[in-house]
Amino acid sequence: MKRFTNILVVFDDAIGAEDALEQAVSLARENTARLTVTVVLRDGEASPQLVAETEKRLRRLSLGVQNAGVSDVQTLVLTGIPFLEVIRQVIRAEHDLVLACAESGSTIKQIFFGSTATHLVRKCPCPVWIVKPDQVVPYQRILAAVDPHNSDSEDQINTLIMGLATSLASRDHAVLHITHAWDVDGNDRDSLRSEITIEQRDAILKRHHDKHHAAVNSLLSRYSTSQFNHRIHLPRGRPERAIGQIVRQEQIDLIVMGSVARVGIPGYFIGNTAETVLGSQRCSILTVKPNGFETPVLLLEE
């Protein structure tokens, strides 16, 4: 999986930080990437003594990372609001992936609302990987949530999602589940509401199902699937409900999906499918944004 060259992992005292670091080390080793390990201390707690102790702890940690096969390791102590300082570091150093841990025992809903991860997923310009603690690795079941019938920016997201999901499935020899939630649109939606026969209704549904199936197969055909098994799910209905059901039924370990942002409007977030889908799911999540996403976070003048 040669996709990342400059990885940033957020390391703190939360349970599960070691899991995020382990995943980051594995990715850095496989990609021959630079790995930066950072701790963010809030302004009120960043005494000179604590900063010095944290720097010393990170230096010891970096030796272990080097012994694990990552030669290019940097450590960094930042002070301020965690999500702001992480994103500013991403901008300064042009990191192409951020990893952080999810609090042990928390649902993704608890992680997303009112937390550093919320802001990172919404506002960080590069992919963000929230790692669930105590999860079996390598992953056994990966879910790619795509929407091949949408705008150009969504097609970019689909490409990013599938590129990452297929690479990870190949690496881990995992089963890749590809899901696309759909519904009937246009005049056919009105037809379903009118008095038609069961045969006519079934014909309409089959036509739309087949159309969406063909679109997903077309998207999948761009990628090699020889290294892993895959399954396609085409549930009809609202994405958040349909995808959430697949996550639970298939016991998904990692979801790869878009945190949808409108290109050209800094930090503008539309739709809450990701948050709703993940509201009760305990799994890791890797989120991507379309090309051209502009973060609302600005660098401070040095």
Question: Are 1-134 and 139-302 the same fold in CATH?
Answer: yes
Ranges of each domain in the chain = 1-134, 139-302
pTM (two decimals): 0.88
For 137, which DSSP code?
A: S
Residue 117: φ, ψ to 5°: -60, -35
Please tell me the class of the 1-134 domain: alpha beta
Classify domain 139-302 at the CATH topology level.
Rossmann fold (3.40.50)
Spatial contact of 293 and 125, defined as CB atoms under 8 Å apart: yes
Quote the pLDDT of residue 106: 53
For 265, which DSSP code?
A: S
pLDDT band at 24 (very low <50, low <70, confident <90, very high): very high
Greatest Cα-to-Cα distance within the chain, rounded to the nearest angstrom = 77
What DSSP element (H or E) covers 83?
Answer: helix 82-93
How far apart (Å, rounded) are the C-alpha atoms in residues 122 and 296? 10
Residue 196: φ, ψ to 5°: -125, 165
Task: Show the tokens assigned to 56.
Answer: 């010393």
Task: Show the tokens assigned to 181.
Answer: 């939630």
What DSSP element (H or E) covers 204?
Answer: helix 198-220
pLDDT tens string 261-297: 455 545 444 445 655 554 556 789 999 988 888 898 9
Q: What percent of the chain has pLDDT over 70?
A: 81
How far apart (Å, rounded) are the C-alpha atoms in residues 14 and 117? 13
How far apart (Å, rounded) are the C-alpha atoms in residues 191 and 1? 47
